[in-house]
Amino acid sequence: MPSALFSIIDVFSTTPYKGNPLAVVDVRGQDLTDTQMKLITRQFNLSETTFFFPPTLPGADFQLRSFLPYGWEVYGAGHNILGVWWHLAHANLLDFSKPDTRAGSTEEFTFHQELGGEVVPVKVIRQRTDPNDTPQFTIAIRQASPKSHAAVHTDPSAVAAVLGLTASDIGFPSAPKLLPQIMSTSTTHHLLVPVSSVDALNRAVVSRDKLVEQLDLLDSRAHGIFWFTPVAESDGVATFHARFFSRGMTAEDPATGSAAGPLSAYLYRNGVVRSDEEGKVRILVYQGLKLGRQCVIEVRLAVRGEELDVDIVGGGAEVAKGEIELPALSTAF
């Protein structure tokens, strides 16, 4: 049977087995149907699987498509996209002959991805202290401008019930009136919920039925719930611990870039973080700690009048690679 090459990349960590695992499937030269990609995604049973193809739009280097295990195709730029670009760099599938900038042992390159019918730039930073050493790669991805939706949840008790918490656990001690809200980037919507402490963050146990009920009540487009709390700053950078659970995932997600990016906008618009004199904000989001992972998502926000630009930044580590047989065309999802 025909097969495709794949790699498992731990994203948002440079330590194997500590990041958010992503299946990356090389389908260049293959003509896969949507059903075949959904079947492969369900077989890996990770939070997401991403396929890369030759581009179909001018200016793009690769076309990317990402799926959830239950069959939804997603277009938000999180670990599903950052992990692919880390793999492309690590596997030497990119042209590194013309850096945009070079400063000592660090070079920055710009590539372009085709995702959801749009072509957008991606930054790849390569660091190599010795020509004979394996280079280290960091990826910076510009997300679609984050949007704050009118769906603000005004019933802390109902949200708390989703998480197995009490109403007093919702909100920050420094900002008790901060309310849960639907935020989005591209077509990916999540319910963001501030909680009062690391203890509350870790005590939470999601009720899937109540989660689906509350998401449908607020915005049926919402994928999941992202709850977070502030911790001590890291080298002067506002830092948060977070967790995420989706209606479409079989387990908690160790790192959720499509929620961490909009989080920066939520915090900025609610006055929790402030921009510097250049209109820039930087936050760090630690996620997956409850699962024995240690994912670090760096989020960079730039204020342009009423518009906000958001980049998510991180690295990866390869933990497995091989071949997977392609499903027969007759196999139903």
pLDDT level of residue 132 (50, 70, 90 thresholds): confident
Rounded Cα distance, 331 and 162, in Å? 36
Residue-wise pLDDT for 170-203, tens only, equals 999 988 889 999 999 988 899 999 999 999 999 9
pLDDT reported for residue 134: 87
CB-based burial, 13-37: b 16+ in 10 Å, e otherwise: bbeeebbbbbbbbbbeeeebeeebb
Going along the chain from its start, the domains and CATH numbers come out as: 3-143+316-325 (3.10.310.10), 147-313 (3.10.310.10)
Residue that has been written with the tokens 């197995």 in this structure: 164
Residue-wise pLDDT for 222-235, tens only, equals 989 999 999 999 99
Instruction: Name the active-site residue from 48, 107, 252, 298.
Output: 48
pLDDT at 306 over 90: no
Per the rule left: phi > 0, alpha: psi between -120 and 50, beta: everything else, 159 is alpha
Residue 277 annotated to the active site: no
Residue that has been written with the tokens 């997600």 in this structure: 253
Residue that has been written with the tokens 């990826």 in this structure: 139
pLDDT at 151 over 80: no
Model pTM?
0.91
